[in-house]
Amino acid sequence: MEKNIGEILITREEIAAKVAELARLLDEEYAGKNPLMICVLKGALMFMADLTRAMKIPLELDFMAVSSYGVSTRSSGVVRILKDLETGIEGRHVVIVEDIIDTGLTLKYLVQNLQSRRPASLKICTLLDKPSRRQADLQPDYCCFEIPDKFVVGYGLDYAEEYRNLPFIGVLKPEAYQ
């Protein structure tokens, strides 16, 4: 699996340090608010697990699965909710935990969908941001790393359901997906 990685963009240690820093920031911002952390499956699972384990305040977890990629490296632009929340969010402080913001089209749809449910607040927390590809007008409230326009895998991010279990963020060699 690692033979298909062209370069390690972000190491395991760099991820751990940023996640710990973000957890402290969220602890301060959401003290006394019992936030609902929404993991966008499957990609954000590793990030969400590490982030919420590092947080010290009371919080709740829920999960959504949305799809716009299939087995492609580019978003189709058509968003489907594959798994919806089990928790009502009206009046709640909600944090969407995302693995990567690329075009932003999927996330924009998700934000609009969740805002229609009238949360007290709704913020976006992402592990990776790729602003050079943005097509939707949105910015994350919290971001660990801004990255260049490269196809990355690892730490939850996949290509055709592979590479999620790599402990780092790596750039996938083009020959692995072309």
Catalytic residues: 102
Q: Is 91 left (phi over 0), alpha (psi -120 to 50) or beta?
A: left
User: How far, in Å, CA of 111 to CA of 133, rounded?
Assistant: 18
- Burial of residue 46, with CB atoms counted within 10 A of its CB: 0-12 exposed, 13-18 middle, 19 or more buried: buried
- The 10 Å Cβ neighbour count of residue 50 is 18
User: How far, in Å, CA of 144 to CA of 47, rounded?
Assistant: 10
Q: Provide the sign of the torsion angle of the four alpha carbons 57, 118, 103, 80, taken in this order.
A: positive
The residues, any chain, with a CB within 8 Å of residue 151's CB and separated by 6 or more, are 73, 159, 171, 172, 174, 177
Task: Please give the helix or strand (H or E) that residue 97 lies within, else none.
Answer: strand 93-101
